[in-house]
Amino acid sequence: MDKVKVLFVCLGNICRSPTAHGVFQHLVSERGLSQQIEVDSAGTSDWHIGRSPDSRAQAAALQRGCDLSALSARQVSSADFYDFDYILAMDNQNLQDLEQVSPAGFSGYLELFLPYGNIGEPREVPDPYYGGEQGFDQVLDMVELASTGLLNHICKRQGWS
């Protein structure tokens, strides 16, 4: 059986997408699906390649039992469109940037991530980088909801319980 591969994308890959990566990976592990689902994250920019997630994102996630320290920022590559089934953007600008570089033959899901949380509005995960620590907690709240919804969606599509 092929793995389902999920890529989370934000601008710099140091706040929102590694948070989604870590939270979703944690849920996948809790459900015993690590052999069936592969998770990664990337940024549309090359600003932070090789850097660890923002220390505030790491601290907020760790308070909820999710360790982001092993993650390292990378930029989206053309190969990602051939490797991943789900490429999920944190906001509309990153979605537009991804759509511009997506090859015509991409057959996966290229869409916003937050709607999987079924919360209505907002539809975008706000960038907490320039705000205070409460912004990272808000992002975690949103990401946890959307991650649960995404995992349920994938399990239903794949026929997994």
DSSP H or E segment with residue 133:
helix 133-158
74 labelled catalytic: no
Active-site hit among 80, 91, 97, 127: 127
CB of 98 closer than 8 Å to CB of 104: no
DSSP H or E segment with residue 37:
strand 37-43
The structure tokens listed for 38 are: 């592969």
Active-site hit among 15, 16, 40, 97: 16
CB of 7 closer than 8 Å to CB of 13: no
Angle between the 133-158 and 16-30 helix axes, to the nearest 10 degrees? 50
Active-site hit among 10, 56, 80, 91: 10
127 labelled catalytic: yes
16 labelled catalytic: yes
The structure tokens listed for 78 are: 């053309």
Angle between the 55-63 and 133-158 helix axes, to the nearest 10 degrees? 60
Active-site residues, by number, are: 10, 16, 127
